[in-house]
Structures are given as C-alpha cells and as structure tokens.
Structure 1
Amino acid sequence: MTHTAHTAETAPSAPTPAGGAAAWKTTPVRRPPGRRLPFSAWHLVLAPLALGFALPLLWLLLSSVMTDAEINRFPPALWPEGIDLGGYRYVLGNAMFPRWFANSLVVSGVAVLSNLLLGSLGGYAFARMRFAGSRLLLGLMLATMVIPFQLTMIPTFLVMKRLGLIDTLGALIVPALVTPFAVFLFRQFFLALPREMEEAAWIDGCSRLRVLFSIVLPLARPALATVAVLTFLSTWNDLTWPLIAINHDTQYTLQLGLTTFQGQHHTRWSAVMAGNVITVLPVLVAFLLAQKTFIQSLTSSGLKG
C-alpha cells in the first residue's frame, strides 16, 4: 500500500539544539506599511465640535474690541479693523460695575467655602456613620434635587423676608450655604476610600472630626475641587434668584447688574460685549484650573452607591 506524500505546505522540522529541546524559529509577520495618523481618529470628530463651541466666545471677544459702527454694520464685520477699547473703558468707568463684581465675588466665595465645609461634614456622616433613618434622610435629601426652583422660590422668599434678609447679600448667601449635590458627591467619594487608615487613626484616639480634616479631606482633593468649581459656576451665573430677592442697585450681583446695564445701554453694543467678557472670564479661569479633576472625581465617586 503506497504512503500518502506530504503536501508542499508542511514546514520542515527545525534542527534540534544542543540542549535536546526542540526549538522552532518563528519569523514575525510583516504587515504592509500603512500611513498612520499622528493623533487619535476621534480628534477628527472632536476638533470641529470644539471649534463650534468656541466660536461664540471668539465672536464675543472680537466684538468687545470693535466699535459700535462695526458691530451694527450689515453684513457684520467678522474681524475688527483695529483694537478699540472704548467698550471696556465705558464699562469700567461705570461707578456701579466694580461694586457688582465685588458682590458676586462675596456671594460666590462664601457659597464655595460653606459648601466645602458643610457638604464634607454631611457627606462623611452619610458615608461612615449609621444612625436611625439615615437612608430615609438621604433619600429625602436627594429627592429635593428634582424639585424645580419655580416651586421653592416663593417659600424661600418668605423665609428670607422673615429673617430680614431681603435686599441684602445675605438673601443670596443663605440659600446657597449647602446643596444636596455637594453632600451627595462627597458621600460617594468617601465611600470609595478605604477604611484602613481611618480605623488606624480611631485606634490611636483621633475623633471623627480629626480623622475627617487630617486624613480624609487631603485625599479628597478631586471632590473638593469639583464641588468648589460647580458651586462657583452656579452662584456666579445665577440671575433668577437675585432678580427676586434684590431691589437696590447697590446690592446687585454682576449678572443682575449686567442685565440692567444692557437694558439701559442697548445701543452701546461694544460696552455690552465688554461687560460679558469680564463676566465670563472668571468662569473660564475656574474651569481651566480644575478641568483635570472633573473626570477623576466623578468616576471615583460613582463606584459605590
């Protein structure tokens, strides 16, 4: 009976090395050279989107250094013929504008500090302490986040009126002292932290407050930065509540003052644009300083529920 011959595709056996073990030499597969992009392909999609979001800010900046004639021209000028700072001089020369800017800084600064302190205390209590009704209280607190502001502004106004805070900066500060979102974000971040270091500190005799301020909060810098920036953005850009609670122009915040300024000087578009640039600048700076902490904080705070 004839033996079947081996096909030509069968690879020949490799020589046996001195050690006696059979070794097979494999040649790496060479792929045909292709042209690779020096960046991720997603950049081709994200770059136009980023440019689309940046165009309004770029137009705002360019309009602030245009003259009123250039802004009112039809079709509008896409590029200023020269840098004109008349709008900035007009805005900064207004006696009330620096006062409005200072009021916004005071309201936003106090709100940020109070949310960092009270929010971390509440979040740590919900994350590490078990007491009767803790889950029910947490659920009720989170339920307030879905209540629209239009349903709470009248009761809030009545409370502020009883306290005698209407037409003062206190009416803007007290409702923003602590928010459910800050408590919830701190709680979620604290749940993701290991307990070993805290337990070691408790064994050494540290109180809960000492553990919180000496051990936990230094590890919670992403959460602290995120709460600070989000609180600053919400209070700085708030217009509805100051419009209800403030009557006198000396207590206006920057957003409220800029709105009335725009209504009074609607023909001075260069001044309106310059005022908007000054208003947006602190928000952009705050976001750029803390943008790296957003993803780290939100991803780590969402690990446990």
Structure 2
Amino acid sequence: MQKAALSKGFIYIILIVGSMLMLLPFVWMLSTSLKSSGEVMMMPPVWIPSDWRWDNYETAWGMAPFARYTVNSIIVTVLSTIGELLTTILAAYAFSRINFYGRDIVFAVLLGTMMVPGEVLIPNYVTLSELGWIDRYPALIVPWLASIFSIFLLRQFFLGIPRELSYAAKIDGCSNFRFLWTIMVPLAKPAIVTILLLKAIGSWNAFLWPLIVTQSKEMRTLPVGLTSFSTEAGTVYELLMAASTMIILPMIILYLILQKYIIEGVAKAGIKG
C-alpha cells in the first residue's frame, strides 16, 4: 500500500514539474510584456517588473493595423476550419463505411502524403500564382480545406461505432447521407471537436504560409503582423511580447474550454502515443 502511494506521489511530482516547465515560456512572455525596455535587457533577468507597463499593450496594438490582421485571421480560421470539417467528415465516412474498389489502397496513398514535409511549398505557390490567387483569401484558405491526419483520426473513430447501427438504419430505409449526419456525426462529437480545436489553433497560429502568399498589409494575418516589431534597428521585445500575448490569448481560452474533448476523442479513436 505504501509502495503504491509513493509511486503515485512520484508520478504527481513529475507531472507538476512538467506542467511548470510548460508554463514557464508563457509566464516569461507575460512578464516581458509588462516591462520597460531597460528591464527587458537586464542581466540577470528580471521576472517581476518594477514598473508594470500596461500601456505596452496599447502601444503594440497601434504599431501595425492589428484590427485588420484580426479580421483576416478570423476569416481564415473560421472558413478553413469549417471547410476541413466538411471534407474530413465526408472522407472519413467513405473510407470507413462505404466499400468501393481500391478503397484501402487510396487511403494508404493518402496516409503516405503525411510524410511529405509541409515546407515543400513551391508547387503550391506556383499553382496559386497561375490561378491568380496570390494576396487573396483563397490562397490562405483553399489549400488547407483538407487534412489527411484529421481524416485518419475521424476514420478511426467511425470504425469503433458498431456496424449494427448502419444495418438497422438501412432496414428502416435510411440513406448513407442521412445516417452520417443524424447518427454518426453526433456519436463522433468528441473526435470532431478535437479536430475543430486542433485546426483552429493551427490556422490561427500559421505564419510561414500567410507570409509567403500575402504581399500587402491588408491581407496579413496576426502572426505575420508580429514582424512589425523586428526591424534593422533591432527588436522591441516588450511590445513583441505584448502583441504575442494578445494573439495567443483567444486560443488559450478556446483550449481550456474544449481540452477534455482532445483526450476523449483521441482515446476513443484508438490512437496510442
């Protein structure tokens, strides 16, 4: 009994230490955002500002058109997330419930594309340039309307739903489309919410692709807007951290609200870490 208690206590200690290490960058970001320019560069580092500079947030917001960047980020995140959810649900259902010639081969080929690094952007850029989409919303949204990982995750969840439900639905005259939206989707809510959350966070924080396909300030997104604080003269770290805090806060709130669905969705999908 005592051995089990010690083992459990050791696990808790490891988890607490790990949590503190994970939170450390966020604490440093918040602390730096409230410092003066002099305290930012002090050695040894100062964790608690002597003068809390809340005006850094107002100054950072006025350094660039962040209102426009926010609108762009919201549009891109919402539309790309909705689009990915639709393609993921339809594709996952097809690969898990509909028998068609070459289904498993096609799915294996799609899984193989996950090994292609995301940094291979030249073909995508050339295609979008030929379509005339550079520096427009389609360039920021259309290439990210489907995700093989999301399809794989939801397919695994669909495979765990008893087939007897589909047999009973077909006996009652239910079509595949109706069965998908009235039975499968509600049952797969944990996995769908997990996909929604991961996609929203990824789209909101995307930097490299929006930087490449946008040329004007009117089309920039929030992460790209952070480059406004880095110039040839140097980086204004306190303002950069203030802007970063404002940008990351919505995703932290969203994650805290929906975090339980990640564990539930991944566990029920049968994916082992």
Read off the aligned partner of 1:205 and give its amino acid letter. G
Q: CA deviation at 1:123?
A: 0.1
- Judge conservation of contact 2:83–2:145 (CA < 8 Å) in 1: yes
Q: State yes or no: 1:50 paired with 2:19.
A: yes
Q: CA deviation at 1:281?
A: 1.1
- Greater RCO between the two (CA within 8 Å, min separation 6)? 2
CA RMSD of aligned residues (A): 2.3
Q: Equivalent residue of 1:138, what SS? A: helix
Q: Which aligned pairs between 1:1-305 and structure 2 lie closer than 5 A?
A: 40-94=9-63, 96-151=65-120, 153-263=121-231, 266-302=234-270
- Judge conservation of contact 2:63–2:228 (CA < 8 Å) in 1: no
- Could you tell me how far apart the structure 1 residues matched to 2:25 and 2:18 are? 12
Read off the aligned partner of 1:91 and give its amino acid letter. A
The TM-score normalised by the length of structure 2 is 0.92
TM-superposition CA deviations, 1:149-191 (whole Å, max 9, x none): 233x111111111221101121010000111111111111100
Q: Equivalent residue of 1:149, what SS? A: coil
Unaligned runs of 5+ in 1: 1-30
Q: CA deviation at 1:251?
A: 0.4
1:303–1:62 Cα change, 3 Å: closer
Read off the aligned partner of 2:49 and give its amino acid letter. P
The TM-score normalised by the length of structure 1 is 0.83
Going by fraction, where is helix more abundant, 1 or 2?
2
Alignment size in residue pairs: 272
Q: CA deviation at 1:269?
A: 2.4
Q: CA deviation at 1:92?
A: 2.2
1:275–1:135 Cα change, 3 Å: same
Q: CA deviation at 1:144?
A: 0.7
1:265–1:251 Cα change, 3 Å: farther
Q: CA deviation at 1:94?
A: 3.9
- Could you tell me how far apart the structure 1 residues matched to 2:3 and 2:73 are? 56
Which residue in the other structure is 1:28 paired with? none
Unaligned runs of 5+ in 2: none
Read off the aligned partner of 1:175 and give its amino acid letter. P
Which residue in the other structure is 1:21 paired with? none
Identity of aligned residues (%): 35
Q: CA deviation at 1:265?
A: 7.9
1:264–1:206 Cα change, 3 Å: farther
